[in-house]
């Protein structure tokens, strides 16, 4: 709890105060740290190949920014790919044993999955935050959806949780928790509406995208849990006492960001 209280203001201040290039650079470092942990899920433990994987992803980030142009074309395309990727992940979760064997093919597939989780989320953040005049507020709202979904799921699951969501992947999660998370995020949309520069006629669209993103955040959480179960890892790391590693903090956000920015653009918000 102490760790959470100390860390909570940092992303909020970063989103609100940093210019987009500086925020993107800071988040890139965080996400690359998460990818370092992800290599353990893929069964890669030697420092050299892990570092090479990080370097390749860092170069991809740089290339995407270089090629983006004023319209942010590459960032938008990769964000769309990321939103579609999470539909693939949903199918993967239904076949939980897929890719579980420790062999070269599955290790390569999981490394690719890590890239498909991280790069679109990073691109989505850059696209969303750069939008004027409310880009920082929209970015903070996207993160708040994840936090509200997580908190609502925890309290509802603790009090009413009976029906397991995915017992073979994450035994602690329940459908009641999911419903509690969805309710919390739907309520979040109401006070956020005027802060995001929207009119009340746009509330149904905002609630819709909020609910979809909250659902996506659950998929992100479950996917990381599945990867940990495949690799026999309890936490992605021990960076945060009592809170696991970097990827344990990022899993839901990685799914939420591309789904959010694509849904926002699609609905014209």
Give 52-63 pLDDT, tens digit per residue.
999 999 999 999
What is the reported pLDDT for 9? 79
Contact between 207 and 192 under an 8 Å Cβ cutoff? The reply is: no
Identify which of 15, 135, 116, 122 has the alpha carbon closest to the alpha carbon of residue 64: 122
Q: What is the pTM of this model?
A: 0.92
How many structural domains comprise the chain?
Answer: 1
Structure tokens at 19: 């210019």
What is the reported pLDDT for 1? 40
What is the reported pLDDT for 150? 92
Task: Report d(CA 187, CA 253) in Å as an integer.
Answer: 19
Provide CB contacts within 8 A for 236, sequence distance 6+.
34, 37, 38, 40, 41, 224, 228, 244, 245, 246, 247, 248
What is the reported pLDDT for 238? 53
Using the 8-state DSSP alphabet, how is residue 183 labeled? H
* pLDDT tens figures, 88-128: 999 999 988 888 888 999 999 999 999 999 999 999 999 99
Contact between 53 and 222 under an 8 Å Cβ cutoff? The reply is: no
Structure tokens at 119: 């790069």
Spans in the chain with pLDDT lower than 70: 1-8, 235-244
Per the structure, the complete domain to which residue 122 belongs is given by 2-267
Q: CA dihedral in degrees (47, 244, 88, 124; nearest 10)?
A: -90
């Amino acid at each position: 709890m102490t760790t959470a209280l100390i860390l909570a203001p940092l992303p909020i201040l970063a989103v609100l105060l940093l210019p987009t290039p500086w925020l993107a650079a800071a988040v890139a470092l965080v996400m690359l740290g998460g990818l370092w942990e992800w290599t353990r899920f893929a069964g890669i433990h030697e420092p050299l190949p892990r570092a090479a994987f990080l370097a390749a992803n860092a170069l991809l980030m740089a290339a995407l920014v270089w090629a983006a142009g004023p319209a942010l074309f590459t960032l938008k395309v990769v964000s769309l790919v990321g939103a579609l990727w999470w539909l693939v992940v949903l199918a993967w979760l239904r076949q939980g044993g897929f890719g579980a064997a420790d062999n070269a093919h599955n290790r390569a597939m999981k490394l690719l999955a890590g890239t498909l989780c991280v790069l679109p989320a990073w691109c989505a953040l850059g696209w969303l935050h750069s939008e004027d005049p409310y880009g920082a507020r929209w970015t903070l709202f996207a993160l708040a959806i994840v936090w509200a979904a997580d908190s609502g799921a925890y309290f509802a699951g603790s009090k009413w949780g009976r029906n397991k969501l995915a017992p073979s992947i994450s035994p602690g999660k329940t459908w009641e928790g999911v419903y509690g998370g969805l309710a919390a995020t739907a309520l979040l949309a109401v006070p956020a509406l005027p802060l995001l520069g929207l009119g009340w006629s746009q509330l149904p669209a905002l609630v819709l995208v909020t609910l979809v993103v909250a659902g996506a955040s659950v998929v992100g959480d479950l996917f990381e849990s599945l990867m940990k179960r495949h690799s026999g890892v309890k936490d992605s790391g021990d960076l945060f006492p009592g809170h696991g590693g970097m990827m344990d903090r990022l899993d839901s956000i990685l799914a939420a960001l591309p789904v959010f920015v694509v849904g926002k653009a699609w609905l014209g918000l």
